[in-house]
Structure 1
Amino acid sequence: MSEKNRDGKRTARERLAVEREKQKAAEKRRRALIVSAAVVAVLGLAAVIGVIAASAGKQGDDSAGPVVAPSGANGEDDLVIPVGKESAKSTLTIWEDFRCPACRSFEKAYRSTIHELTDAGRLRVEYRLATIIDGNMGGSGSRAAANAAACAQDAGRFTPYHDVLYDNQPPETDDAFADDAKLIELAGKVQGLDTPAFRGCVEDGRHTGWVDTSNEAFSQGGFSGTPTVLLNGENIYQDQTMTPAKLKQQVQEAAQD
Structure 2
Amino acid sequence: MDHMGADPDPDGRTAREQLKSERERDARRRRARRRFSVVGAVVVVAAVIGTVFALGGAAEDEAEGRPLVVPANTVGEQRTSVLYGKADARHTLSVVVDPRCAPCARMEAALGRAMRQLADKGAYRIEYRLATVEDDARGGKGSRWAVNALGAAANEGPEKFVRYLDAVLAGRSGREEWDGDALASPETLLGIAGRVDGLRTPAFDKAVRELTYLPWAKKVAAAHNQNGDEDALPAVTLDGSTVTVLGDDGVPVSPGEFIRQVRGDKG
* Alignment coverage as a number of residue pairs: 199
- Counterpart-to-counterpart distance in 2, 1:207 and 1:217: 15
Aligned to 2:228: 222
Aligned to 1:69: 70
After superposition, the C-alpha distances for 1:45-104 in whole angstroms (9 at most, x for unaligned) are xxxxxxxxxxxxxx9864534332111211111111010112333311111110011111
Decide which structure has the larger Cα Rg and report it. Answer: 1
SS at match of 1:115: helix
Aligned to 1:110: 111
Q: Please state which structure has a larger fraction of its residues in helix.
A: 1
- Counterpart-to-counterpart distance in 2, 1:188 and 1:173: 19
Select 2:166's aligned residue among 153, 160, 163. Answer: 163
- Counterpart-to-counterpart distance in 1, 2:260 and 2:130: 27
TM-score (norm 1): 0.70
Select 2:259's aligned residue among 244, 248, 252. Answer: 248
SS at match of 1:177: coil
The one-letter code matched in structure 1 to 2:103 is A
- 1:198 matches 2:204: yes
Gap regions ≥5 residues in structure 1: 1-58
Partners of 2:130 and 2:147 within 8 A in 1: yes
Partners of 2:145 and 2:183 within 8 A in 1: yes
Aligned to 2:38: none
Select 1:184's aligned residue among 181, 186, 190. Answer: 190
The one-letter code matched in structure 2 to 1:248 is I
SS at match of 1:247: helix
- Counterpart-to-counterpart distance in 1, 2:170 and 2:246: 25
Q: Aligned ranges for residues 1-40 of structure 1 at < 5 Å?
A: none
Select 2:239's aligned residue among 229, 232, 245. Answer: 232
Partners of 2:236 and 2:243 within 8 A in 1: yes
Partners of 2:150 and 2:165 within 8 A in 1: yes
What displacement does 1:222 show? Answer: 1.6
Q: CA RMSD in A?
A: 2.5
TM-score (norm 2): 0.67
Aligned to 1:34: none
Gap regions ≥5 residues in structure 2: 1-58
Partners of 1:230 and 1:236 within 8 A in 2: yes
The percent of aligned pairs where both chains have the same amino acid is 33
- Counterpart-to-counterpart distance in 2, 1:131 and 1:99: 8
Is the deviation greater in 189-198 or in 229-238?
229-238
